[in-house]
Structure 1
Amino acid sequence: MSIKLCIAFICCISFTLSAQDFQGIAYYQSKTTIDMDGFGGRQMSEEQKRQIAERMKSMFEKTYVLTFNRAESIYREEEKLETPGAGGGMRFGGFMSSFTGGPQYKNVKESQLLQEQEFFGKQFLVTDSLPALKWTMESETKQIGQYLCFKATAIKSVDEMDMTSFRRRDRDNEEKKEGDEKADSSKTNNPIAEVEVPKQIIVTAWYTPQIPVNQGPGEYWGLPGLILEVNADRTTILCSKIVINPQEKQEIKMPSKGKKVTRDEYNAIMKEKIEEMRENFGGRNRGNFRRN
């Protein structure tokens, strides 16, 4: 039996979405691993690495809630008390704590993506169209909880300011290619210049036709079933719980707070602030960021 016929069969025996008020809630655990060696970790002891990794856990291990219907969804971080001392004592941690992602809204019928974003005390409403990933449907299946899931893969272009994909720049390889034009990494005082983001990554998604909506966590969507797991570069997002048609209906409200900007405009603002951080770091005026 082909993948399409198998999916169609599962959809026929799964619950119906005919009700206008259909809704679901899915809970996801998101975890991003960081290459400590790539960020100066080679000079650290194992104990220092462990301590820093523990401090960064609150930034790279999060729980999200996706509230969805057939056309819309809202994806937000689950609120929880911060662990005392988490992220403290680190310049990078201080920078990341000033970068707070708010609710993310998707409308798959209108191909609309909205995200509230706080950056250094300012509120923005980032507007974008939904990324149209070209999914390749695979025959591999696996069970996630009570749901039979199918595998799909795609090549995704990475946002240049996606901090979950930051990695140390390969200076040695660049110098071999371009001679002495590139500055030696040991001579620069710009930590941002030492990192880069890959232009593309391979995304693996696992979706279940038993919940036939083309929604998923974050910006992921476009498959014939709810996406329950995503593996993208160093980030894994896994669904831990699903509630279908909860007794108390949840409002899926389009975000509206903040200055409305496009993704490109928002990235430009981030770059400006990062350059400001670099100047302050080089001038030994650490932690003092100008606010326009």
Structure 2
Amino acid sequence: MYKIIFVLVFAIASSLGLYAQEFQGMAIYESKTSTSDFKTRMQGNKDMTPDMQKIIEERMKKMFEKTFILNFDKSASIYKEEEKLEAPGQGSGGMRMLASMTGGGGTFYKNVKDKSYTVDKDFMGKEFLVKDSLPNLKWKMESETRVIGGYNCFKATAVRHASKTDFRNLRPKKEETATVKPADAAKKTSFMDEMDMPKEVIITAWYTPEIPVNQGPENYWGLPGLILEVNDGKTVILCSKVVLNSKVKADIKAPTNGKVISQKEFDETVIKKIEEFREMNQGRGGNGGMHMRIGG
């Protein structure tokens, strides 16, 4: 009798362990970044025609409004932009570079068990494999609740350092720092001259304990439930659909192509290239230059 019970318990435990091992889910996220600051700068630029503004706004919309898919299990996940057919001329190196600097352009793998992430980046025609530790976000649990997609969610907030290579963090410079001297007025040709990067951003996340995985979009993690929404003030990433234990399983593995580099080294590489562009355009009289203050 005891032998039969033991066998039954062992079988149930084994099946539960197998279920936990095979458990997998998929979440679709819509990412949208506010471009009101850019539009204000364009409207104040007398040299920019309405047609030019319209073209730029359409391109910005494609860069700052994206759909991502998160495939996850108990310990790891891959987060990748939904593949779409590009219109002729939209797949240029410059557009791909900007895409990688606005939250897309690669497969973001994170392993919450060993607290690491790997993401492949295509920058200036070179492939990089960024490997580093996941950010240690000190989440503050709030009392507010809401329902997202039928799931009961709880609010959590955190403060994190802003990425110097994420253009979504751009903001207008303070009035005193945006003042232009008469001698420099002729060189000011781009609204980017008046943009700045913050040092820190306040993160608001909504997570659901009903899906008990330590996962979320991009490099967000560390809450007792799947993160269904993230808001940093300029960018909102909202989950629109969740599918659990689908018959079709995703291959949740880290990307492997590219030169292995740390996040700090990658940021330094990008910033160096931006400065080279800035100096090159200044040498041409400032026409079309990208003058951006980093880390202000």
TM over 0.5: yes
C-alpha change, 1:95 and 1:72, in structure 2 (3 Å) is closer
Q: Is it true that 1:20 corresponds to 2:24 in the alignment? A: no
CA contact (8 A) 1:155 1:202 kept: yes
* AA partner of residue 264 (structure 1): K
2:173 aligned with 1:174, yes or no?
Answer: no
2:206 is paired with a residue of what secondary structure? strand
Measured after TM superposition, the shift of residue 83 of structure 1 is 4.2
1:31 is paired with a residue of what secondary structure? strand
Give 1:80-99 correspondences, 5 Å limit: 80-83=84-87, 96=98
Q: What corresponds to 2:65 in structure 1? A: 61
Q: Distance in 2 between matches of 1:252 and 1:94?
A: 24
Q: Distance in 2 between matches of 1:184 and 1:221?
A: 48
Q: How far off its partner does 1:22 sit?
A: 0.5
Structure 1: which amino acid aligns with 2:31? Answer: S
Does 1:41 find its partner at 2:40? no
What does the per-residue CA deviation read over 1:207-255, in whole Å, with 9 as the maximum and x for residues that have no partner? 1111011100001111110000111121010111111011011110111
Amino acid at match of 1:228: L
2:9 — aligned with what? Answer: none
1:281 CA displacement: 2.3
Is contact 1:58-1:86 (8 Å) kept? no
Give the conservation status (yes or no) of the 8 Å contact 1:126–1:261.
Answer: yes
Amino acid at match of 1:262: S
Computing the radius of gyration from Cα coordinates, the structure with the larger value is 2
- Look up the SS of the partner of 2:21 in the other structure: coil
Q: Within 2, Cα distance between the matches of 1:94 and 1:169?
A: 27
Following superposition, the deviation at residue 169 of structure 1 comes to 2.6
Q: Sequence identity, in percent? A: 48
- Cα deviation for residue 142 of structure 1 reads 1.1
**Partner of 1:238: helix, strand, or coil?**
strand
Per the normalisation by structure 1, the TM-score is: 0.80
Match of 1:72 in 2: 76
Q: 1:273 Cα shift? A: 1.4
Q: 1:250, 1:94 → 2: CA distance?
A: 25
Counterpart contact for 1:25–1:68, Cα < 8 Å: yes
CA distance change for structure 1 residues 125 and 87 in 2, over 3 Å: closer, same or farther? Answer: closer
Equivalent AA in structure 2 for residue 211 of structure 1: I
* Map of 1:32 onto structure 2: 33
Q: Secondary structure at the match of 2:56?
A: helix
CA distance in 2, matches of 1:265, 1:125: 11
Mapped partners of 1:66, 1:217: distance in 2: 7
Equivalent in 103, 108, 131 of residue 104 of structure 1: 108
The match for 1:158 among 158, 162, 174 is 162
SS class of match (1:223) = coil
Tell me the residue number matched to 1:147.
151
Shift of 1:184: 7.0
Unaligned runs of 5+ in 1: 1-15, 288-292
Aligned length: 265
Following the alignment from structure 1 to structure 2, what is the Cα–Cα distance between the partners of residues 21 and 80? 29
Matching of residues 1-292 of structure 1 within 5 Å: 19-34=20-35, 35-37=37-39, 39-43=41-45, 48-83=52-87, 96=98, 101-170=105-174, 172-174=175-177, 186-188=185-187, 194-284=194-284
TM-aligned CA deviation for residue 77 of structure 1: 0.7
Asked if 2 retains the 8 angstrom alpha-carbon contact of 1:165 and 1:233, the reply is no
Counterpart contact for 1:29–1:240, Cα < 8 Å: yes
Q: Compare 34-43 and 225-234 and name the one that shifted more.
A: 34-43
Question: For each residue in 1:3-60, what CA deviation from the matched residue of structure 2 results, as whole angstroms up to 9, or x when unmatched?
Answer: xxxxxxxxxxxxx885211110111010111212554431256665444212211111
In the alignment, the residues of structure 1 paired with residue 70 and residue 116 of structure 2 have an alpha-carbon distance, to the nearest angstrom, of 16
Give the TM-score of the pair, scaled to structure 2.
0.79
SS of match in other structure, 1:257: coil
Name the CA shift for 1:19/1:164 in 2 (closer, same or farther; >3 Å): same
Equivalent residues of 1:161, 1:197 under 8 A apart: no
Q: Deviations over 1:167-218 (max 9, x none)?
A: 2333x41388xxx9x8976354696664321111111111111101110000
**Conservation of the 8 A alpha-carbon contact between 1:56 and 1:87:** no
Q: Residues 101 and 95 from structure 1, CA distance in 2 versus in 1: closer, same or farther, beyond 3 angstroms?
A: closer
